[in-house]
Chain A
């Protein structure tokens, strides 16, 4: 998937001279995960800018750039370090259009590797998507495959408003597929139905998608047909696709890696309660991280939701009377 991101960045930069990439180690190093590999050689130091170690500065400077016709694509090395940028994102990037009634706008993308599963050190495995999705004027996207990463990132860069683009590190190398570099962007307000099924809907995104896929295979062996929805664009949320799925299956398991309380699963559950209550034949299940600090690698697996927990939740929903 990391190559698909690199590919999308190169495509966007080829097609639009306004697109520039900036961040820590994005230049000669090609990014710590190599998501910007080769861009410096291809586009030069005026479009691929190695910054000082200054997350707030990178975000703030990008706002200034964006108001002047550039399309900055910022890499914050890990989401644990993106928290520092929240002031700039919340107080400025996301509301500049509203504050000026459209006079000044902020078409920037803040990319950041997120989530656990790669045995990283502290602060390198965060899942802050709900925090970003809570911010008005900001789009929040998390891809779960190389193809979707390519299409969604192109869309994010072309979008006239700020987008936070969270990339699950565990999929950078694990998720592999051929990606056509055809410049086709995916809509930023559509969920993906990855698997159709009639018994239970699993609603998830990002690094949990492969776990859902494994769970569906296991459930199929037990005679349970799972529908998998990759939400992908958390904000704006494609509630329609989710509601339609749950209206069909009557059962729903929401899976996310982030802590449970205040997690984005709560918003999805609320929407289902509002619009699909009478279709539900079992309580909504949530399989999530715990309300704990993300553990260091040795206990990471205790925290992270996995296929077994999803299977168990789906079976609970199936058994419910």
Chain B
């Protein structure tokens, strides 16, 4: 029996900011779109500050999200508070949107676990560094929602490299067979450290990996935050109403290095990278906002100034943070500390001359 499969592609704004597709309902409210733009700039400014801190020895290895902010931001802006976000390690702007503070993000990337225990967004998952394995946690969270008959959705973001992993294949398969309220979003930034997408897969799209798992799949312009919001938003509401899972491939580009430990000039040159600067998500959104008359040069200048101040202050707060007590490395290992670990803790304290 013949089958025909198709992968749709969605775009609302083209790189020039021109409206080329139908807007999501939320975007009829100009102030909401402005809020998205502010969040994008906030994430990008955080990103730049984090790199500056790393370069001056005041932050650990950091994974820049430069140019990819629209993927996760479009995603979380379509979530409800009670939904659960299961991020990878490049979703800073989205984590901020969900309520993690700038200081907490700095803290995490500064090598302090307290950054994974934020004051808000407490039911979201911490950053997952192992590639793709967290897709299964989102599936598990979704299974929990389904079993508890709660109208909530789990949303995971992972990179194009992750789609080569068995974990993601298993997550897609389980999401299909159990009809789970989960949405998987691929940040297809074209590069997995030094490996370009064409060396990652022979598939024409990554979204089509949904087809084999019996879930929905769609490709969107990942530099178009409104398109991401639109596609993910539909996927989330479909999941919430027992319609099953979706895989959303957001096509974007990693403008920076993989992390601050990486030197992308070893494997790609400016000629490869520079055309993508014209497609990055901030330019087109700013142009759109300006075209519809809700954004001015003065607004822009003020936003940049205020955001920079906010982020500098958060960085100062991070740098002024008192260190964790050394015993904290022991205290969260188990709910109740076993005797052997308590003995190790006591000896660590004794060796450091503490109580």
Contact = CB atoms under 8 A, between A and B. Distances in A.
Contacts of A184: none
A198 interface: no
Contacts of B126: 96, 99-100, 104
Contact of B143 (A59, A64, A101, A237): A64
A101 B119 CA distance: 12
Contact of B170 (A57, A91, A96): A57
A56 B170 contact: yes
Interface stretch (A67-75, A203-211, A256-264, A285-293): A67-75
Contact of B174 (A54, A105, A239): A54
B268 to A, nearest CB: 29
A179 to B, nearest CB: 26
Tier of interface size on chain A: 35 or more
Contact of A64 (B142, B148, B341): B142
A64 B167 CA distance: 14
Contacts of B135: 60
A98 interface: yes
A63 B136 contact: yes
A136 interface: yes
Contacts of A218: none
Contacts of A68: 140-141, 144-145, 148
Interface string B108-146: 000001101100001001101010011111111111110
Interface stretch (B22-30, B53-61, B235-243, B332-340): B332-340
A158 to B, nearest CB: 11
B339 A236 contact: yes
Given A56-B166, A60-B133, A161-B335, A99 B113 contact: yes
A52 B117 contact: no
A138 B332 CA distance: 12
Contact of B136 (A20, A61, A70): A61
A321 interface: no
Contacts of B136: 56-57, 59-61, 63-64, 88
A236 B130 contact: no
B273 interface: no
Contacts of A139: 334
A97 B116 contact: no
B147 interface: yes
Contact of B133 (A51, A87, A104, A236): A87
Interface in A144-164: 159-161
A92 B137 CA distance: 9
A137 B338 CA distance: 10
Contacts, number: 133
A102 B338 contact: no
A159 B140 CA distance: 20
B173 interface: yes
A102 B141 contact: no
Given A52-B173, A160-B335, A101 B116 contact: yes
Contacts of B128: 92
A63 B140 contact: yes
Contacts of B177: 52
A160 B144 CA distance: 17
B13 interface: no
Given A56-B166, A68-B144, A68-B145, A105 B335 contact: yes
B94 to A, nearest CB: 18
A101 B113 contact: yes
A62 interface: yes
Given A52-B173, A98-B333, A236 B341 contact: yes
B333 A64 contact: no
Contacts of B329: 98
Given A64-B154, A137-B333, A91 B133 contact: yes
Interface in A45-94: 46, 51-52, 54, 56-57, 59-70, 87-88, 91-92
B171 interface: yes
A58 B128 CA distance: 18
A103 interface: yes
A66 B147 CA distance: 13
Contact of B171 (A57, A104, A105): A57
B88 to A, nearest CB: 13
7 closest Cβ pairs, A-B complex: A64-B140, A60-B136, A68-B144, A236-B338, A57-B170, A61-B140, A101-B117
26 contacts: A52-B173, A56-B136, A56-B170, A57-B139, A57-B170, A60-B139, A61-B136, A61-B137, A61-B139, A64-B138, A64-B139, A66-B140, A67-B140, A68-B140, A68-B141, A68-B145, A92-B128, A92-B133, A97-B334, A97-B335, A100-B332, A101-B328, A160-B335, A189-B338, A236-B339, A239-B340
Interface of A: 20, 46, 51-52, 54, 56-57, 59-70, 87-88, 91-92, 96-105, 136-137, 139, 159-161, 189, 236-237, 239-240
